């Protein structure tokens, strides 16, 4: 579009969480925990969970279909689809491609965007990508669609009650009732091992609980201070709690939300903000001289902060806590479930108000940002969003399971994790009409789903699931300091590989048109070569790391199911950057760094581009214990490539090859 759009933000929302849940009070008794440990200590009431017939794909299919239908959105009007999730289904194939079946049958494959992954932050990254797209010269006039989907499960033990599951869909466009104040946002990103998933044959994370909470609060402090500074430069006045009607937090468990809001009140005291009265100053003064680290460990300060913050908490935070307390930690969906709770509770009085959002993902990534409400116009109005989400009714219709039944289901899910060649019970009796559910996983790890409807038994799609994942990653810190710039280069001449493999002469060189092949050796991986490429670019072009405001990494090589490559050491370049000569390997084609900005020698012709996205099994990586080797159907892969390049050039024989993968 020729002019920048106004009031870009969230036009519509829908939420889905499983109809199965467990009371935390009953789980306390079952686990032999002290009374109140989960309900008061964690601040949780219930926990939602997926049974064998639901997963992140089924939830995503359900929530996207529901949003499109309830807001009467033509699937052809979607121009960008972004998914945020830390639940890895395949090391190569994105969740977004699984959702494309909804749009393919309407003839729309020109939809940009893929998945964003870093712990619980992926949904926010996906949302920012869609908002930035609509605000940019790249926007083609269609809507952006964001999906946050996750199932949080834990091994038996103290972390298990912090599970949950949900999917949220958000429609993004101009003239929205929920508007981004793009200049009022601040991020903090760093490298930390607080909560991550390196054990790839298990759904369960490696958690350092104490460090994780400290990292969360440290990121909160840093983002809040930076946001306040930006606000003051923009508005010419000090920011304090009174400048926002509500505060919405990423919610692993409610007690951390209470601590976090208390922390912001303490920050306002340190900043001498106008929101802090004399009685609060008297309570906080004994803690004024604490260092940052000391303040994170002080239980007395924690109690004092929550005491001072309690009246403001009840006013500005409590209305956001309904769904997180009832469903649990939904990872990427948690922040937006809290936001949905606010709309549910206060939609009649939100117009004209500002809300501050805090998004956090372990590893770590965090952003605090500001939204403003307008009433909007039907169907994109706050009242209609609340009506469509219908939160109270969805919570009311859930079915409570006993702890014994929950444990039985978790054991089945553990057994099924990474398995193939099985059929589920197909029991959809607890699901509402229109809900997607898993029916089977075939011998190629492809997953089949059906949609609960009056006409039962319709198979909708094939979606694969990864199987056993490697278990060798039991480290707590990778020693890249010693291996940052390897001096060796590993290549293989394909003509020699032909002879070694006993293939016909020219099969690799002439038929495939390749000369050599590079590969990493034991002291290299995608992280080390990424660090090399980024550091090399910064030094060669004399770029101050402080000039970098956005860092995106594209890869299909999974090192950790939760922690992104960006946080996995790349952020250390910007945290403790020191110039100086270093030995490096050159010519690494596997890692390329590109600096993006205005007045460039290589210019994007933004309006001259087109996309084609579809759901097909050509090359994918569901077998996670096979290092990084994919499952490949060469004939289909080549045909898919050519079809994507020019869909009108496909001959009849090629169409027959692709026929089994067309939408039914």
Helix (H) or strand (E) holding 381: strand 380-381
**CA–CA separation, 12 vs 381, rounded Å?**
8
The catalytic residue among 188, 191, 250, 344 is 250
**CA–CA separation, 99 vs 71, rounded Å?**
18
Residue 26 annotated in active site: no
Which residues in 378-409 are b (16+ Cβ under 10 Å) and which e?
eebbbbbbbebbebeebbeebeebeeeebbeb
Outline where 78-163 has alpha helix (H).
95-104, 122-135
Contact 369, 184 (CB under 8 A): yes
Compute the 3-state secondary structure of the chain and give helix, strand, coil in percent, each to the nearest 5: 40, 20, 45
Note if the bond before 364 is cis, omega within 30 degrees: yes
Name the pairing type of β-strands 631-632 and 354-361: unpaired
**CA–CA separation, 252 vs 329, rounded Å?**
5
- Measure the N-to-C terminal CA separation of the chain; round to a whole number of Å: 35
Residue that is written with structure tokens 């390897």 in the block: 486
Name the pairing type of β-strands 164-173 and 143-152: antiparallel
| Number of Cβ within a 10 Å radius of residue 490 | 14
Burial (CB count within 10 angstroms: exposed 0-12, middle 13-18, buried 19+), residue 268: buried
**CA–CA separation, 271 vs 225, rounded Å?**
9
The catalytic residue among 28, 54, 82, 86 is 86
The catalytic residue among 120, 130, 223, 640 is 120
Angle at 137 between CA 134 and CA 143, to 5 degrees: 25
Residue 120 annotated in active site: yes
Residue 215 annotated in active site: no
**CA–CA separation, 620 vs 636, rounded Å?**
12
Contact 346, 319 (CB under 8 A): yes
The two three-digit tokens of residue 262, written as one number: 């208390």
Q: Name the residue among 18, 382, 332, 1 with its Cα closest to residue 146.
A: 332
Q: Name the residue among 623, 610, 615, 663 with its Cα closest to residue 640.
A: 615
Outline where 40-148 has alpha helix (H).
56-70, 95-104, 122-135
Burial (CB count within 10 angstroms: exposed 0-12, middle 13-18, buried 19+), residue 464: buried
In sign, the C-alpha dihedral spanning 436, 439, 444, 445 is positive
Residue that is written with structure tokens 């939420």 in the block: 15
Write out the binding residues for CoA: 212, 255, 259
Write out the binding residues: 212, 255, 259
The two three-digit tokens of residue 311, written as one number: 């009246």
The catalytic residues are: 86, 120, 250
């Amino acid at each position: 579009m020729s002019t920048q759009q106004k009031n870009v933000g969230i036009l519509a929302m829908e939420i889905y969480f499983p109809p199965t849940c467990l009371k935390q009070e009953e789980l306390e008794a079952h686990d032999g925990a002290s009374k109140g440990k989960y309900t008061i200590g964690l601040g949780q009431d219930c926990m939602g969970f997926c049974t064998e017939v639901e997963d992140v794909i089924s939830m995503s299919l359900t929530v996207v279909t529901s949003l499109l239908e309830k807001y009467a959105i033509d699937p052809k009007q979607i121009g960008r689809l972004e998914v945020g999730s830390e639940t890895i289904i395949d090391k190569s194939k994105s969740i977004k491609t699984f959702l494309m079946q909804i749009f393919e049958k309407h003839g729309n494959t020109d939809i940009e965007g893929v998945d964003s992954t870093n712990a619980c932050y992926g949904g926010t990254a996906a949302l920012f990508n869609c908002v930035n797209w609509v605000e940019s010269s790249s926007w083609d006039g269609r809507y952006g669609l964001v999906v946050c989907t996750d199932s949080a499960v834990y091994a038996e033990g103290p972390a298990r009650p912090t599970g949950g599951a949900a999917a949220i869909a958000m429609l993004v466009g101009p003239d929205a009732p929920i508007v981004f104040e793009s200049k009022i946002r601040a991020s903090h990103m760093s490298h930390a091992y607080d909560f991550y998933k390196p054990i790839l044959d298990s759904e369960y994370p490696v958690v350092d609980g104490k460090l994780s909470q400290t990292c969360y609060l440290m990121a909160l402090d840093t983002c809040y201070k930076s946001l306040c500074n930006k606000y003051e430069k923009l508005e010419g006045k000090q920011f304090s709690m009174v400048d926002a009607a509500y505060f919405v937090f990423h919610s692993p468990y409610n007690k951390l939300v209470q601590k976090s809001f208390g922390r912001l009140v303490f920050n306002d005291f340190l900043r001498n903000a106008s929101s802090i009265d004399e009685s609060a100053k008297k309570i906080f003064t004994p803690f004024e001289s604490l260092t940052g680290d000391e303040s994170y460990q002080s239980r007395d300060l924690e109690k004092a902060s929550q005491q001072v913050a309690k009246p403001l908490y009840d006013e500005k935070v409590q209305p956001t806590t309904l769904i997180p307390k009832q469903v649990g930690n939904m990872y990427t969906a948690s922040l937006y479930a809290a936001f949905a709770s606010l709309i549910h509770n206060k939609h009649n009085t939100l117009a004209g108000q500002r809300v501050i959002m805090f998004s956090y993902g372990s590893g770590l990534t965090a952003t605090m940002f500001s939204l403003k409400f307008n009433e909007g116009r039907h169907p994109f109005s706050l009242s209609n969003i609340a009506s469509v989400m219908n939160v109270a009714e969805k919570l009311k219709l859930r079915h409570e399971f006993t702890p014994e039944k929950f444990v039985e289901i978790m054991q089945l899910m553990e057994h099924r994790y990474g398995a193939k060649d099985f059929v589920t019970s197909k029991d959809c009796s607890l699901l509402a009409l229109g809900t997607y559910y898993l029916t089977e996983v075939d011998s190629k790890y492809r997953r089949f789903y059906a949609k609960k409807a009056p006409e039962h038994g319709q198979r909708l799609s094939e979606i694969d699931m990864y199987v056993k994942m490697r278990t060798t990653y039991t480290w707590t810190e990778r020693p890249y300091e010693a291996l940052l710039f390897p001096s060796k280069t590993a290549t293989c001449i394909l003509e020699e590989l032909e002879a070694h493999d006993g293939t016909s002469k020219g099969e690799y060189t002439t038929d495939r048109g390749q000369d050599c092949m590079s590969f990493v050796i034991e002291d290299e991986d995608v992280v080390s070569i990424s660090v090399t490429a980024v550091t090399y670019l910064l030094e060669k072009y004399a770029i101050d790391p402080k000039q970098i405001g956005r860092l995106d990494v594209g890869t299909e090589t999974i090192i950790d199911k939760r922690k992104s490559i960006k946080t996995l050491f790349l952020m250390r370049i910007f945290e403790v950057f020191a110039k100086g000569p270093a030995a490096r390997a050159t010519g690494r084609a596997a890692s390329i760094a590109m600096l993006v900005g205005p007045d460039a020698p290589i210019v994007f012709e933004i309006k001259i581009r087109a996309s084609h996205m579809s759901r097909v099994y050509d090359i994918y990586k569901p077998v996670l214990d096979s290092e990084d080797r994919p499952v490949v159907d060469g004939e289909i892969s080549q045909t898919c490539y050519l079809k994507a390049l020019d869909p009108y050039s496909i001959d009849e024989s090629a169409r027959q090859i692709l026929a089994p993968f067309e939408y039914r």
